[in-house]
């Protein structure tokens, strides 16, 4: 498919939205959302190659970086920030970098995405090396911030990948592993925080979850290295121990609080 047709900018199938009822609008959005999971499923072969590359590098001490602007950048920061509490990994193992810096997480800094040199400058603070991986997130696939960052990272020997929703987009030409989820036009034309954003969120979840499982951060289907940061998680961890060992709840809870992690209790039981 020629890139001359940017799918994410094409008009959606529903017109005169301002004249529609709330129920109609919600139905339209839901009808389109149903297309996301199958489109992401088509990406699994390409995702498999990317994940295997990330795992190999992380086993050597490498890190995973995300870069993006706007919604794409926020999704990368979100995914990265959830890895330490969920899997007990250091905060510097998965890092999300957004165009415009942390202020852009809450406020629009849209012009920040127009520099093709800024992403690599932002990453320089982390001293990226050839054991690291950089994944650029750009629904349109044309964001200069992402394209420039990936190009420089590839030149520096990092493993590179991208997540986009436009086949043949420029971002796919500057990375080793392009992930392209073709979800089609949005209900509100060009509003890629919708289906495109949902697809990106699913893909990032898939990447880090699979990487962490392959790195041994999950036992059975349990996040045994999660941080015990609140009462809910202490209760969850206690129940994991009870289910795995048959230990009484109060004893399991006490051992968990003493050991500090579900894994430690299970390894000693």
> What pLDDT is attached to residue 3?
52
Q: Which is the catalytic residue, given 9, 52, 82, 173? A: 82
The answer to whether 112 touches 99, Cβ cutoff 8 Å, is: yes
> What pLDDT is attached to residue 4?
55
> What pLDDT is attached to residue 108?
78
> What pLDDT is attached to residue 5?
72
CB atoms within 10 A of CB 108: 10
Question: DSSP characters for 131-197?
Answer: T-EEEEE-SSS--HHHHHHHHHHHHTT-EEEEEESSTT-GGGGGSSEEEE------SSTT-TTTHHH
> What pLDDT is attached to residue 112?
81
> What pLDDT is attached to residue 15?
96
Residues of the chain with pLDDT under 50: 1-2
> What pLDDT is attached to residue 1?
39
> What pLDDT is attached to residue 47?
98
Distance CA 6, CA 182 (A): 11
Q: Which is the catalytic residue, given 24, 113, 173, 251? A: 113
What domains are defined for the chain?
7-216 (3.40.50.10490), 220-267 (no CATH)
Per the annotation, the verdict on 82 as an active-site residue is yes
* Best CA proximity match to 73, nearest among 181, 204, 179, 187: 204
* Best CA proximity match to 54, nearest among 221, 254, 213, 182: 213
């Amino acid at each position: 498919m020629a890139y001359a047709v940017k799918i994410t900018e094409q008009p959606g199938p529903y017109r005169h939205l301002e004249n529609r009822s709330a129920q109609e609008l919600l139905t339209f959005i839901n009808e389109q959302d149903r297309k996301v999971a199958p489109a992401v499923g088509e990406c699994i072969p390409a995702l498999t190659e990317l994940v295997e590359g990330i795992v190999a590098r992380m086993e050597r001490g490498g890190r995973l970086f995300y870069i993006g602007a706007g919604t794409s950048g926020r999704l990368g920061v979100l995914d990265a920030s959830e890895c330490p509490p969920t899997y007990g990994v250091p905060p510097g193992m998965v890092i999300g970098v957004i165009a415009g810096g942390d202020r852009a997480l809450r406020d629009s800094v849209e012009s920040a995405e127009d520099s093709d040199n800024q992403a690599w400058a932002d990453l320089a603070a982390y001293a990226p090396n050839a054991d690291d991986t950089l994944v650029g997130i750009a629904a349109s696939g044309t964001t200069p911030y992402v394209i420039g960052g990936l190009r420089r990272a590839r030149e520096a020997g990092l493993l590179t990948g991208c997540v986009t929703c436009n086949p043949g987009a420029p971002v796919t030409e500057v990375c080793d592993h392009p992930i392209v989820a073709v979800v089609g036009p949005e209900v509100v034309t060009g509003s890629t925080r919708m289906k495109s954003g949902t697809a990106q969120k699913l893909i990032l979840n898939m990447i880090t979850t699979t990487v962490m499982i392959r790195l041994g951060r999950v036992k059975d289907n349990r996040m045994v290295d999660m941080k015990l940061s609140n009462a809910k998680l202490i209760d969850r961890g206690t129940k994991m121990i009870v289910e795995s060992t048959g230990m009484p709840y109060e004893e399991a809870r006490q051992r968990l609080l003493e050991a500090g992690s579900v894994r430690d209790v299970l390894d000693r039981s």
